[in-house]
Structure formats: C-alpha cells, structure tokens
Chain A
Amino acid sequence: MTQFILEFGTTLIATFRDILPILLLITCFQLFVLRQPIPHLRRLIVGGVYVVLGLALFLIGLEKALFPVGKIMAAQLSDPFFLTGVEGAPAPTDWTAYGWIYLFAAMIGFSTTIAEPSLLAVAIKANEVSGGVISQWGLRLTVAVGVAVGISLGAFRIVTGTPLYIFIMTGYAIVILQTFIAPKKIIALAYDSGGVTTSTVTVPLVAALGLGLSEAVPGRNPALDGFGLIAFASLFPIIAVMGYAQITHWAGSRKIINAPQGEDA
C-alpha cells in the first residue's frame, strides 16, 4: 500500500508536468493575447484536477494491466508447447505456425476500431460530405476490417522479420495512387481517418503485442522488429476509406458528380 501511494505520488507529479504546457497556453493566450478573463474558471480548475488525477491513474493501470496483458497474450499464443503440442519443442521459425497470433491481432484490431468514438465522428462527416452515398455502418465496417488486416499483416511481418519500410512504402504507393482516382471530397477525410483509429487504449495493447511477439519468436530483436503494428493500424484505414469511397462512387451514384465542387476539387 505504501508502495502504491509512493508510485501514485511520483506519477502525479510527472503528470502535472505533462499538463503544464496546456495550462500555460490557455492562461497566456486568454489573458495576454485575447485580453479576456478566463470564463468558467471554477469548472476549468475542477476539470484540470480530474485530468491530472485521471491521467495518473490511467498510466499506473497501464503498467499493471494493458502492457502485461498484451505481452502475456503474445507469449502464450506463440508458446512452442501450445503451437506444436510437444513438450520442450523448439520455437517454430516457420510463419505458418503462428496462426493464432494473426487471428488474435485481427480481432484486437476489429473490435477496438468498431468501438472507436472518433471513427463514428468521421463516419458521420463522411456521410455528410458524400451526400449520403457513403453509409456510416459501411464505412465503419470497412475501416475496422482494414485495421484488422493491417495489424494481422503487421504481426506476420514481425514473425518473418521483413523490414517494416517495405510494407509501409507499398502502402504509401497505394495511397498516392488512390489519391488520384478517389472522389476529391473524401481525400482529406480519408487521410485524417488514419490518425483517429488508434486510440489511447488500443495503442498500448497493440504495442505490447508486437513487443511480446518479437521477444517470443526466435531470431527477432524487439528493438528492430517490435514496433510497427501501430503504423499498420494507421495506414490501412486511409486505404480502406478511399477504397470504399471509390467503390460507392464507381457503383453508379450520381450524387457526388452533381454536388457542387469546391475549388480544390
């Protein structure tokens, strides 16, 4: 218990330091640039206390729960005994042996993305921009499947040890190609959707999965192979959103064509 209080105290101080820049920004701009008193000062102070406390608790919990769970899942699903059924077998180096890992990675990707509130916001906007052609559920499912495929491909990359940049560069090439043929109105939104799908809970879990996997598979070095899953999870939604827009566009709707075009279009 004393240990917990000590840990909480140190995290709390560090957290306060992390929040300080925002506080400075708001006070300086409000008082010196906009020259107005801060509105709802009480609410801001109470909210600020919530933010610092909540962040400190979250970070402690993260160390105790999310990171260990991700690593334990990776270690158990890539355990030689679990994979081969033979006691004391050496860890398999063949990528086909790690089927459970790919499935688990895909499920984490799909379930966390479908529940992501910021994706819902993007889907609503996309529905508006496209004049109703892009359905909210269709888009959310497409992005969730995109993230699932992305993370599972990322797990495959860790198992085989292929350099990360080959996958990401190919992804970029596809995105650039799509940019030229996708409906113009959807492009900025599609680019943004890459950033919003990776949330606060998903990131540590997925990062821990990658690091745990790179520790378990023989011949992999966590420093070289452990990261990169989040990069996959932020690249694939871009491809998925533009792809979905292209397909619905191509499917013969005239709403996008007839809608007034902006100057960028």
Chain B
Amino acid sequence: MGEVVFGGILVVFGLTLFIQGLEMGLFPIGESMAHALARKGSLFWLLTFAFALGFSTTVAEPALIAVAAEAASIAAQGNLIAPGEESLNSYALGLRLSVAFSVGVAILVGVLRILRGWPVHFLIIGGYVVVMLMTLIAPEEIVGIAYDAGGVTTSTVTVPLVAALGVGLASIIKGRSPLLDGFGLIAFASLLPMIFVMGYGLLVFG
C-alpha cells in the first residue's frame, strides 16, 4: 500500500514536472520552428522535419515506453520471446522504434496531404483496408498490442507539436483552412502504427 501511494505521488509530481518542462522549452520552440519551416518553402526540409518530429516525439512518449515494457514482459511470460533482460529490452525497443518510425511516416504523409489538399477520408479508409489485410497475415499474438499502439502513440508530447505543425501549415498555404485541413495528422499517427507493429510482429514471431 505504502509503495502504491509513494508511486502515485511520483506519477503526479513527475508528470507535472514533465509537462511544465515541455511548455517552457520544447513546445514554444517546436511551434516556432514548424512555422519557420512552413514559411521557408523548401519541400525537402519540411518533409524531413515532419518525419523527424513524428519519430522523435514518439520515442519520448511516456505511455508508449510503459506499454512497450509491459508488452515485452507479457511476451516473455507467454514464451514468445526468450526470457532475460536483454531480449526483453530489445523487443520493447523494437516495438517503440517501429511505432516511432510509423508515426514519422504518418506525419510526412499527413503534411503532403495538407500541401496537396487530398481529402482526409480517402487516406483513412485506405489505411483501414491495409489494417484489415495485415490482420489476416499477422501472427495473432501481435494483433492486440498493434491495435493498442495506435491509441498509445498520440499523447502528451506528440499531439501539441504535431497539431502546431498542421495548423501552422494550413494557415500559411493559400486556400487551406486551418480548421478543415489542419486536422487529420493525429488520425494518421494513430492509424499507421497498427500496420507497422503488425509488420514488426511478422518479423519477430512470423
């Protein structure tokens, strides 16, 4: 009981400090960089930034760190991966990197969508179809964690920075409305991880 109370205090205190730190340093500079890059007009650097932003914010996402570690210990209990610290850590890191990579790709595609003005629902529905196809071939042990990965990734760090990028871009490009086109980035960022994590499962268990 004492352990739980102590842990609860650590959670509240740690999260407050974490968010305070983000608001002091990362969010303002991330937003101003997103605006500056959108204005600079170089497609290559904008897309590189979009990918790197999605990737690096996802690596730092606390909920994903926690769930990946938990998924690794469950997989070890179920004899899916070898027990032992090293294989647990490499499985958890593999999960996180595939999620981070997929979020990077998602933000890149999402930025292209804003630039080109593609309707968001075609991409989403297309993504759903790919998820369904991947579910058919993916090992069933990975399906649960893959579906969950979509919701886990888009949280404290990723959402504000990615939303700033989307709204910033949409407000600069002529003929785009920030409200209509600025949204939809998060939706990709929760869809692609499912596909990539199922792919990771195919590699590891398949």
User: Closest CB-CB distance, A235 to chain B, in whole Å?
Assistant: 8
Contacts of B120 in A (CB 8 A): 187-188, 191, 264
Contacts of A207 in B (CB 8 A): 66-67, 70, 148
Once the chains are docked, how many angstroms separate the CA of A217 from the CA of B71? 19
Contacts of B57 in A (CB 8 A): 22
Contacts of A63 in B (CB 8 A): 7
Contacts of A22 in B (CB 8 A): 26, 56-57, 59-60, 157
User: Closest CB-CB distance, A172 to chain B, in whole Å?
Assistant: 5
Once the chains are docked, how many angstroms separate the CA of A94 from the CA of B36? 59
Cβ contacts A225-256/B at 8 Å (1 or 0 each): 11111110110000000000000000000000
- Asked if B20 is at the interface (CB within 8 A of a chain A CB), the reply is yes
- Asked if A108 is at the interface (CB within 8 A of a chain B CB), the reply is no
Contacts of A50 in B (CB 8 A): 17-18, 20-21, 24-25
CB interface residues, B 151-203, toward A, < 8 Å: 151-157, 159, 175, 177, 179-181, 183-187, 189-190
User: Closest CB-CB distance, B26 to chain A, in whole Å?
Assistant: 6
Contacts of A62 in B (CB 8 A): 7, 11, 62, 66
Once the chains are docked, how many angstroms separate the CA of A6 from the CA of B166? 41
Contacts of B14 in A (CB 8 A): 53-61
A225 touches B62 (CB 8 A): no
- Asked if B33 is at the interface (CB within 8 A of a chain A CB), the reply is yes
Once the chains are docked, how many angstroms separate the CA of A227 from the CA of B194? 13
Residues A55 and B62 in contact in the complex (CB < 8 Å), given A192-B184, A195-B154: yes
Interface residues of A, CB < 8 Å — how many?
A: 90
Interface residues of B, CB < 8 Å — how many?
A: 91
A34 touches B151 (CB 8 A): no
User: Closest CB-CB distance, A252 to chain B, in whole Å?
Assistant: 23
CB interface residues, B 20-38, toward A, < 8 Å: 20-26, 28-30, 32-33, 36-37
Residues A54 and B66 in contact in the complex (CB < 8 Å), given A45-B25, A179-B125: no
- Asked if A111 is at the interface (CB within 8 A of a chain B CB), the reply is no
Residues A203 and B186 in contact in the complex (CB < 8 Å), given A59-B14, A65-B4, A198-B152: no
Residues of B bordering A, CB below 8 Å = 3-26, 28-30, 32-33, 36-37, 40, 45, 49, 52-53, 55-57, 59-60, 62-63, 65-67, 70-71, 74-75, 77-78, 80, 117, 119-121, 124-125, 128, 131-132, 135, 140-141, 143-145, 147-148, 150-157, 159, 175, 177, 179-181, 183-187, 189-190
18 A/B residue pairs, CB under 8 Å, sorted by A: A30-B33, A45-B25, A47-B23, A51-B17, A59-B14, A60-B10, A61-B10, A61-B11, A62-B7, A125-B183, A164-B144, A179-B121, A188-B183, A189-B183, A191-B187, A196-B154, A222-B77, A234-B150
20 additional A-B residue pairs with CB within 8 Å, beyond A59-B14, A227-B144: A18-B59, A24-B56, A29-B52, A40-B28, A47-B24, A51-B22, A58-B10, A61-B11, A65-B7, A125-B183, A128-B179, A164-B143, A164-B144, A188-B183, A203-B63, A204-B67, A223-B78, A224-B78, A230-B147, A231-B144
Residues of A bordering B, CB below 8 Å = 18-19, 21-22, 24-26, 29-30, 33-34, 36, 38-40, 43-69, 118, 125, 128-129, 163-165, 168-169, 172, 175-176, 179, 185, 187-189, 191-192, 194-196, 198-201, 203-204, 207-208, 211, 221-231, 233-234, 262-265
